[in-house]
Structure 1
Amino acid sequence: MDTRPLGTTGTDVTEVGLGTWEIGGDWGDVAERRAREAIRAALDSGITFLDTADVYGDGRSERLIREVLADRDEEPFVATKAGRRLDPHVAGEYTEANLRRFVDDSRERLGVETLELVQLHCPPTDVYYQPETFEALETLRDEDRIDHYGVSVERVEEALKAVEYPGVETVQIIFNPFRQRPRETFFREAAARNVGVVVRVPLASGLLTGALSADTEFPENDHRNFNRDGDAFDVGETFAGVPYEDGLEAVDAVEPLVPDGMSMAQFTLRWILDHDAVSTVIPGSSSPEHVRDNVAAAALPHLSADRHAAVREVYDEFVREHVHQRW
């Protein structure tokens, strides 16, 4: 699998990484054995970028990564996140003391002295207007608790504000055929500043796999059930913010655009990777087979200009009104 530079970190990472929210929590019950198998499948497939967070399963995801890596020779780049443990989750609590506590807990769970990359975990917008928060991250880097820091954002405006801080080396953002706004101003700005772009929610919570239908039922502890209206966290994290029924209509319009021999999930990942500003895309899965299929998307040929234009037309017709100005 080809690699791309992760901003100014000095590390090249595989075009397809692994997101581990699904094996941590909020996606129904995933057995630890199955979660470990998914991580092993990612490593076996050559993936060198793993993304996690301290709140995924209350630290479960970080712990499982440590346990799997303990028995492996690979040394993937592991990125984690901090901030969502705050209660209340307010900008004023993004302090040096709290961030140091979160970072130290993640260091322990991951079994490392220094975290390779820490990302603020979708903080309130006001955090991006608090220089002291980013000064705190600088201090943690000076103390060798972290090597690099970045942000995980909900909105394009937050991403644009974050990259004004010279220490921010990466931005994690939702981007897929149903969330196209980042490819406008933000991608240009990220490229100009050499900021790494990590794409999350690439498959719109499974919508863009083509495997869901109006009859699909989700477990009670699956965010695709309990967060459809944003009751637990930002609704943009669930089906990329697209109302489910409208999303299914949009999927029906995308399906004829998928070339023979390519799954819809692979088509979606290839569409994302066709944007040069993207450093890596991090689909999550608890299925080793799906992990391998996702990795295979990186080797597929670029999509034609006509197919990209057709995807934009689907977006404009079915999706834009629901998401474009909101995120």
Structure 2
Amino acid sequence: MGHDFAESGGYSHSRRRVLGMGAAVAGWSLLPGSLALAAEEAGGREGEAIRKRPIPGTNELLPVMGLGSSGAFEGREATKMDALRRVMESFVELGGTVLDTSPSYGNAEANIGRLARETGVRDQLFMATKVRSRKKEAGLEQIAQSAELLGEPIDLMQIHNFIGLETQWRLLRTMRGEGRLRYIGLTHFRTSAFEQLEQEMKSKDMDFVQFNYSVMTPEAEERLLPLAADRGIAVIVNRAFNDGRFFQQVRNEPLPGYAAEFDCTSWAQFALKYVLSHPAVTVVIPATSDPEHLMDNMQAGYGALPDEAMRRRMRETMASL
């Protein structure tokens, strides 16, 4: 794993309770024709585009709100596939491009590839996936299978949780050099991996690194985020909701009034805007199969972000709950 799988799982009832000032107040509709209007309302300025940040090595711009798929995009039920189709369409219409997945997420790659083709949005997606094999030949097979399922190009190939690290790193560097992969990187989802991540970020010429970071677990601010900025490495953040524990902590709590100062209308946006307010973060990838949650999440990519004083206040609020 490595994403907020709880977005689509057992914490959905908690999430609905704390949407509060989000969808209900903004008056959002899930009808496709209302998506652009919803984005404008959340951003606070008519016609505002989603915030984008550059990939340091190339200055290619990416929208800061991405979409994860662990748990969320797995399954085969017709009703879930209908919901995922709406999630995919809404994600792109609201300005998202970065979609992160892995062969280890059940049939998520197959579902993503099929839905991207059916909805006609494949060419608008920045497709990121992972390799998690210990041997070179198995890695090549896995990468080929991902490309077949997701469609080409694979924009970003990441080594999943250090599995087969040195073997797969040599393979990814070769494939990048040959133009078969656009970007390469590493991922992990646990704070306990930060020491090794730091060493790998110092020694490897990676384009991206992915790790966990949130208002509840801000340890990445100490060394990893400054190091990424210094080294020119793009950062993808997973577990922004701490696998749903964030929503458990804020359940039945009113959204602080000061959240309006950074265009925040829900607890989900509170968590996501905290992450995005760190300048070294390139993209955050909450996973969801719920179109309403997707709409709520995406609004974090619009409008103002908290400054450092506000970030301290946000941490204090969470510590007091």
Q: Is TM (by shorter chain) over 0.5?
A: yes
Shift of 1:144: 3.9
Shift of 1:308: 1.7
Q: For the residues of structure 2 that align with 1:23 and 1:148, how far apart are their CA atoms?
A: 25
Shift of 1:168: 1.0
Query: If the length of structure 1 is used for normalisation, what is the TM-score?
Result: 0.72
Q: For the residues of structure 2 that align with 1:6 and 1:268, how far apart are their CA atoms?
A: 23
Contact 2:229 2:280 in 1 (8 A): yes
Pairing 1:61-72 to 2, within 5 Å after superposition: 61-70=108-117, 71-72=119-120
Q: For the residues of structure 2 that align with 1:133 and 1:111, how far apart are their CA atoms?
A: 21
1:119 partner SS: strand
Shift of 1:2: 1.7
Q: For the residues of structure 1 that align with 2:216 and 2:251, how far apart are their CA atoms?
A: 9
Contact 1:270 1:297 in 2 (8 A): yes
Residue aligning to 2:180: 145
Residue aligning to 1:325: none
Shift of 1:206: 2.5
Contact 2:159 2:169 in 1 (8 A): no
Contact 2:53 2:61 in 1 (8 A): yes
Q: For the residues of structure 2 that align with 1:317 and 1:98, how far apart are their CA atoms?
A: 49
Residue aligning to 2:225: 187
Q: Quick one: structure 1 residues 304 and 8, their matched pair in 2 at CA, closer, same or farther if it must change by over 3 Å?
A: closer
Q: Quick one: structure 1 residues 254 and 169, their matched pair in 2 at CA, closer, same or farther if it must change by over 3 Å?
A: farther
Pairing 1:277-288 to 2, within 5 Å after superposition: 277-288=280-291
Q: For the residues of structure 1 that align with 2:254 and 2:183, how far apart are their CA atoms?
A: 38
Residue aligning to 1:267: 270
Contact 1:119 1:149 in 2 (8 A): yes
Instruction: Give me the CA root mean square deviation.
Output: 2.7
Contact 2:159 2:168 in 1 (8 A): no
Residue aligning to 1:308: 311
Pairing 1:1-327 to 2, within 5 Å after superposition: 1-25=50-74, 31-57=80-106, 60-70=107-117, 71-73=119-121, 74-83=123-132, 86=133, 93=134, 95-112=135-152, 114-123=153-162, 130=166, 132-153=167-188, 154=190, 155-208=193-246, 210=247, 212=248, 248=249, 255-256=255-256, 259-260=259-260, 262-313=265-316
Q: Quick one: structure 1 residues 310 and 253, their matched pair in 2 at CA, closer, same or farther if it must change by over 3 Å?
A: farther
Map Cα deviations across residues 205-232 of structure 1 (whole Å, 9 max, x no partner): 2333x3x4xxxxxxxxxxxxxxxxxxxx
2:259 partner SS: coil
Q: Quick one: structure 1 residues 254 and 120, their matched pair in 2 at CA, closer, same or farther if it must change by over 3 Å?
A: farther
Query: If the length of structure 2 is used for normalisation, what is the TM-score?
Result: 0.73
- Residue 120 of structure 2 aligns to which amino acid in structure 1? R
Map Cα deviations across residues 90-144 of structure 1 (whole Å, 9 max, x no partner): xxx2x322211110110111122x42111111125xx55x3x4422211222444
Q: For the residues of structure 1 that align with 2:111 and 2:185, how far apart are their CA atoms?
A: 23
Shift of 1:204: 1.7
Residue aligning to 1:245: none
Map Cα deviations across residues 265-287 of structure 1 (whole Å, 9 max, x no partner): 11111111110000011111111
Runs of 5+ consecutive residues of structure 1 not aligned to the other structure: 87-92, 213-247, 319-327
Q: For the residues of structure 1 that align with 2:210 and 2:220, how far apart are their CA atoms?
A: 11
- Residue 283 of structure 2 aligns to which amino acid in structure 1? T
Q: For the residues of structure 2 that align with 1:30 and 1:184, how far apart are their CA atoms?
A: 43
Shift of 1:174: 0.6
Q: Quick one: structure 1 residues 30 and 284, their matched pair in 2 at CA, closer, same or farther if it must change by over 3 Å?
A: farther
Q: Quick one: structure 1 residues 20 and 101, their matched pair in 2 at CA, closer, same or farther if it must change by over 3 Å?
A: same
**4+ residue segments displaced more than 6 Å:** 250-254, 315-318
Shift of 1:252: 7.5
Shift of 1:22: 3.2
Q: For the residues of structure 1 that align with 2:139 and 2:94, how far apart are their CA atoms?
A: 34
2:116 partner SS: helix
Kindly indicate which of the two structures has a greater share of residues assigned to helix.
Answer: 2
Q: For the residues of structure 1 that align with 2:171 and 2:110, how far apart are their CA atoms?
A: 25
